[in-house]
Chain A
Amino acid sequence: MSTSPPAALDIDRIAALARIALTPGEKAAFSAQLGDVLAYIALLKEADVTGVEPTAHAFPVENVWAEDVPQPGLPVAAALGNAPAQHDRMFAVPKVVE
């Protein structure tokens, strides 16, 4: 857990986690812009949240169950309709194992 002021955002590390290849120009621009946003967000440190429960959903959502009955799914042709590449009724990707 860290409550100390955040270090500058390590843009290379975060872009790698987010799986986005950023250009040098984007890295410089985002670092500066997000620096401003993080400085603004630091306002939250003023708020007294002692003993306050977090809210994930505005209205508590309990587990919602459905009967365990098979439902029709998308036909194969429809599921593949937007595929960038397909082969033999399957999604095709570059080889992942040597």
Chain B
Amino acid sequence: MMSSELFFKPITELAALLESGKTSSVELMRAFVGRTQAVDRRVQAFNSCDESDALAQARASDLRRAAGGAIGPLDGIPVGLKDVIAVAGQPLTASSRMLAGFVSPYDATVTRKLKEAGAICWGRLNLDEFAMGSSTENSATRTTGNPWDLDRVPGGSSGGSAAAVAAGEAPAALGSDTGGSIRQPAALCGVVGLKPTYGRVSRYGLIAFASSLDQIGPFARTVEDAAVALGAIAGHDPLDSTSFRSEVPDYRAELARRRGPWKLGIAREYFAEGLDPEVGAAVEAAIAHYRKLGCEIREVSLPHTKYAVAAYYIIATAECSSNLSRYDGIRYGHRSPAAADALDIYFKSRAEGFGAEVKRRIILGTYVLSSGYYDAYYLRAQKVRTLIRRDFLDAYREVDAILTPTSPTAAFKKGERAADPLAMYLSDIYTIGVNLAGLPGISIPCGFTRGKLPIGLQIIGKPFGEAEMLAIAHAYERDHDWNRQHPDLR
């Protein structure tokens, strides 16, 4: 089998090839290593990859299969990991100078679960430093290009994960989503990206950004692949006290069982000023398709949407200022060689180790939590969070899911928003409410601009309603071929 035929195949097809013996995991892994060597100098999705370790994992999978012990659909399949997810013995940098040279002493729970499912942990993927950003330009290691147009950003913060899947360097990847960091890059790179309900997936071993918002989820080529990957990583974990005690459905089987028709909500607030007309038209066409499938489209109101970005940038920065206080140059991370005494270690190590956006957010978070401002900012933002959450729960009394654009625009040019943090923050306007409310959301490809840049449709589900949300996404995907078009990166 030609290795080029493998790059863009979904997991489900690769698994069938492995099962029938038409290819081996080692052959598959070699193909992805070759592809990465061929294109990643231009795409720059990977911070690091360990080819010999990946090939050893592939050999182990082939031996398991030969002995009749293949585990399931992920056995022998490479999965990339955002460089904030710990893999024992491998580098973990958060794309920050602060963690240059850091080696994970243990596996994250999602890493352990992927390994238990037989998947090959393949490379550590670039991101905005400490997952703070919407373009992956805040990385201290490299600037990732969008595979559809390398002069444009892949989105962020999980830009490396999205770009690697879009460029055929991995069939799937994990990312983390605090304000849209899985869904927005998925939309901008033309792949599927799923943010699970808060508590659905353990965050043990994920470098923390904003703990009441962070959630790990998969990038994939198809909705079915996302269902397979979510099933592998979901579930309660005693090591994460926010992880939820409930059964994990067989998401893949549920796709076939749940056939609609559904009641789908459209919120006027998500089609307002700032939405690019081409993006709006593609999303309207997707809505029309659901209507054709017999779904009832209802208008719902999410009146507090306009406050979401403001509330988010108070809550997320407050939590990040607290979480990132651990980087003090004492037990791990960068220690300034110029520091004279203990206090000086903190000031200089943090000055040298953190990049501009991380410093900006720590400063803002420290300010909103500081004496005299706590009630006016942080407490008020938490109350507004209640209102935003209530909007969604009220809407879900009438509808099964809500359809929105994922991002107000397609991929923008590198450098275009770098000097204006507020403009960058507004890139997340359609994704942030989902994190504040703790809901699941998925972005799926729903078209291209005239300039051949991907457009994403966001489907927002009910709490712990991933199975229904995936089925709704699958119903659209089945009738379209957007995800079978690939960027020209020869």
Contact = CB atoms under 8 A, between A and B. Distances in A.
A85 B380 CA distance: 43
A55 B360 CA distance: 25
A81 to B, nearest CB: 6
Given A33-B422, A40-B310, 13 more contacts: A20-B363, A21-B351, A30-B363, A37-B313, A47-B383, A49-B384, A52-B386, A52-B387, A55-B383, A57-B212, A66-B238, A82-B102, A94-B341
Interface stretch (B18-26, B188-196, B249-257, B326-334): B326-334
Interface size class of B (residues with CB under 8 A): 35 or more
A23 B347 CA distance: 11
Interface in B311-334: 311, 313-314, 321, 325, 328-334
A8 to B, nearest CB: 11
B301 interface: no
30 contacts: A1-B375, A2-B376, A6-B376, A13-B370, A14-B370, A18-B366, A22-B351, A22-B359, A30-B360, A30-B363, A33-B360, A34-B360, A45-B380, A57-B212, A57-B242, A58-B212, A58-B436, A58-B437, A61-B242, A78-B105, A79-B331, A81-B105, A82-B101, A82-B105, A82-B331, A82-B333, A83-B332, A84-B332, A93-B342, A94-B342
Contacts of A95: 341
Interface centre among A13, A64, A66, by most chain B C-beta atoms within 10 angstroms, is A64
Interface in A1-39: 1-4, 6, 9, 11, 13-15, 17-23, 26, 29-30, 33-34, 36-37
B209 interface: no
A94 B342 CA distance: 6
Interface residues of A, number: 56
Nearest to B375: A1
Interface of B: 101-103, 105-106, 198-199, 212, 238, 241-242, 244, 304, 306-307, 309-311, 313-314, 321, 325, 328-335, 339-348, 350-351, 354, 356, 359-360, 362-364, 366-367, 370, 372-373, 375-377, 379-387, 389, 421-422, 425, 436-439, 463
A54 B379 contact: yes
